[in-house]
């Protein structure tokens, strides 16, 4: 007999707040995922010039004053917006919540590049005389800045920090929230990830030098995971924060729940700086399944990581084939095809976009799949059009990153 955890150790998602290049709420995001609407647009960046990117248009002033936006970072603004939205969505009585019991765990791929580039660019105008270097540099670039700004804005006095986990950071933020609730380090976790990465030219230039930056006449077609004609990553900004609570607390206040986090895993490739290792990815997936006490065929949807690079998509396909083989029951989709790669926010945004499947029984597709690469032709890949799904109980979310970091989160319908 399988021993179930007590409700106090079962962690559920009770609120979702997000901003994506194609939506500033879960509702809008989901609508565009089902309608096949991309959020990728033409974009100009310092030094690098014309490119494409996923740009968000949430209202920065909804939860911040102009002075706060000026003082802080874009990543902070994204995190603040998403956290407020998630709290409102959760139905928590925030006014009467003991803020010392709230923990803030925010995944980031990178932080500090935007501010540093801006400051160096400005300093050039003063002939690199460092007496013109901003006193705001340090508080803006410390790695905890995105999480710290959330605590400042919301008056949270519980623990806060960011998790640097490359493109697995969104999943890592959620995993940290789950663990901290189980350890009773907090009673409410604001957990997720953010990205301000489109505001640094360096990330575009580096991907381009690596031969991994997408180019397309039509920005909406530039991010094309698994497609034969894919040519690289679309960089995106964005954010998604969950309110996570213990099931016992959610039940006590009659909260609506999006799903329960029933399993997760992280591991490392220990192989290459940039190229992924499919065997380690498969090991990570198996570990998450084992912890969730699930078999591969129990998974209804796999939200793939695939970033539209020539190598990475193939490696992930090999890992997925190792687990799911020719099982056509488990469906696979991809969110980066719609919004590009939202870096620290990617994992959690991609998971969030799939959660409504539990109630509407539709699996959103991966778009821009005009000619599937034979090496990525997986049974169950939902191409271009959404698909109705009879059984919608479990979603498995992959996120893999540079330096061989792998993460998997499994959510079950409540």
Partner 1 sequence: MTGADIREAIVDILSDIAPDEDLGDLKPDIAFRDQLDLDSMDFLDIVMELRKRYRIQIPEEDYPRLASMDSTVQYLEPLMKEIQKA
Q: Which residues bind partner 1 (CB under 8 A)?
A: 65-67, 70-71, 126, 131-132, 134-136
Query: Whose Cβ is closer to partner 1: residue 3's or residue 131's?
Result: 131
Distance between CA atoms of 317 and 193, rounded to whole angstroms? 25
Tokens of 39: 């959020």
Query: Whose Cβ is closer to partner 1: residue 54's or residue 76's?
Result: 76
238-246 and 188-195 strand pairing: antiparallel
Query: Whose Cβ is closer to partner 1: residue 118's or residue 327's?
Result: 118
Distance between CA atoms of 201 and 50, rounded to whole angstroms? 11
Closest CB 77 distance from partner 1, rounded Å: 15
Query: Whose Cβ is closer to partner 1: residue 119's or residue 316's?
Result: 119
- b or e along 282-295 (b: 16 or more beta carbons within 10 Å of the residue's beta carbon)? bbbbbbbbeebebe
Query: Whose Cβ is closer to partner 1: residue 65's or residue 99's?
Result: 65
Residue 374, Cβ density class (10 Å: 0-12 exposed, 13-18 middle, ≥19 buried): exposed
Distance between CA atoms of 243 and 189, rounded to whole angstroms? 6
Give the rounded distance of the alpha carbon of 93 from its chain centre: 27
Closest CB 230 distance from partner 1, rounded Å: 43
Instruction: Provide the strand spans (E) within 98-195.
Output: 102-108, 160-164, 188-195
Closest CB 165 distance from partner 1, rounded Å: 30
Angle at 228 between CA 20 and CA 315, to 5 degrees: 75
Closest CB 58 distance from partner 1, rounded Å: 19
**155: closest CA among 210, 206, 104?**
104
Closest CB 198 distance from partner 1, rounded Å: 24
- b or e along 34-51 (b: 16 or more beta carbons within 10 Å of the residue's beta carbon)? bebebbbbebebeebeeb
Distance between CA atoms of 146 and 151, rounded to whole angstroms? 9
Query: Whose Cβ is closer to partner 1: residue 47's or residue 132's?
Result: 132
Query: Whose Cβ is closer to partner 1: residue 4's or residue 70's?
Result: 70
Closest CB 202 distance from partner 1, rounded Å: 25
Distance between CA atoms of 373 and 315, rounded to whole angstroms? 12
Side-chain-side CA neighbours of residue 157 (13 Å):
4
Query: Whose Cβ is closer to partner 1: residue 136's or residue 182's?
Result: 136
**346: closest CA among 110, 157, 155?**
110
**46: closest CA among 155, 202, 190, 179?**
202
Query: Whose Cβ is closer to partner 1: residue 140's or residue 199's?
Result: 140
Instruction: Provide the strand spans (E) within 184-258.
Output: 188-195, 235-236, 238-246
Closest CB 215 distance from partner 1, rounded Å: 38
Query: Whose Cβ is closer to partner 1: residue 77's or residue 90's?
Result: 77
Q: What is the dihedral of CA 344, 348, 350, 354, to 10 degrees?
A: 180
Closest CB 66 distance from partner 1, rounded Å: 4
Query: Whose Cβ is closer to partner 1: residue 137's or residue 329's?
Result: 137
Closest CB 135 distance from partner 1, rounded Å: 5
Closest CB 156 distance from partner 1, rounded Å: 20
Closest CB 60 distance from partner 1, rounded Å: 12
3-state secondary structure of 91: coil
């Amino acid at each position: 007999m399988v021993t179930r955890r007590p409700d106090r150790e079962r962690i559920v998602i009770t609120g979702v707040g997000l901003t994506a290049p194609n939506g500033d709420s879960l509702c809008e995001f989901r609508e565009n995922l089902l309608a096949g609407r991309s959020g990728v647009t033409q974009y100009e960046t310092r030094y690098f010039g014309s490119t494409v990117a996923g740009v968000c248009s949430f209202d920065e002033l909804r939860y911040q004053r102009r002075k706060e936006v000026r003082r802080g970072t874009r990543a902070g603004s994204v995190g603040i917006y998403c956290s407020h939205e998630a709290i409102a969505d959760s139905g928590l009585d925030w006014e009467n919540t003991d803020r010392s019991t709230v923990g803030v765990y925010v995944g980031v791929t990178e932080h500090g590049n935007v501010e540093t580039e801006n400051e160096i660019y400005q300093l050039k105008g003063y002939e690199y005389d460092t007496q013109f270097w901003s006193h705001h540099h340090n508080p803006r670039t410390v790695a905890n800045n995105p999480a710290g700004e959330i605590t400042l804005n919301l008056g949270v006095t519980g623990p806060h920090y960011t998790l640097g986990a490359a493109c697995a950071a969104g999943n890592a933020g959620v995993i940290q929230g789950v663990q901290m609730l189980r350890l009773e380090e907090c009673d409410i976790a604001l957990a997720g990830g953010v990205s301000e990465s489109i505001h640094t030219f360096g990330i575009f230039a580096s991907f381009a030098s690596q031969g991994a930056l997408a180019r397309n006449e039509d920005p909406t077609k530039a991010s094309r995971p698994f497609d034969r004609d894919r040519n690289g990553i679309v960089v995106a900004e964005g954010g998604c924060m969950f309110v996570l609570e213990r099931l016992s607390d959610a039940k006590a206040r009659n909260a609506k729940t999006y799903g329960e986090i029933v399993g997760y895993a992280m591991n490392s490739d220990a192989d290459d700086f940039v190229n992924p290792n499919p065997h380690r990815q498969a090991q990570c997936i198996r570990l998450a399944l084992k912890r969730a006490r699930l078999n591969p065929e129990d998974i209804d949807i796999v939200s793939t990581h695939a970033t539209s690079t020539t190598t990475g998509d193939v490696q992930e396909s090999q890992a997925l084939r190792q687990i799911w083989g020719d099982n056509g029951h488990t469906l696979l989709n991809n969110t980066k095809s719609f919004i590009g790669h939202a870096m620290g926010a990617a994992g959690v945004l991609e998971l969030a976009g799939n959660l409504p499947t539990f109630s509407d029984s539709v699996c959103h597709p991966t778009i821009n799949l005009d000619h599937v690469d034979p090496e990525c032709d997986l049974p169950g890949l939902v191409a271009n059009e959404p698909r109705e799904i009879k059984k919608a109980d479990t979603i498995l979310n992959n996120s893999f990153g540079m330096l061989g970091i792998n993460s998997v989160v499994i959510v079950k319908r409540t």
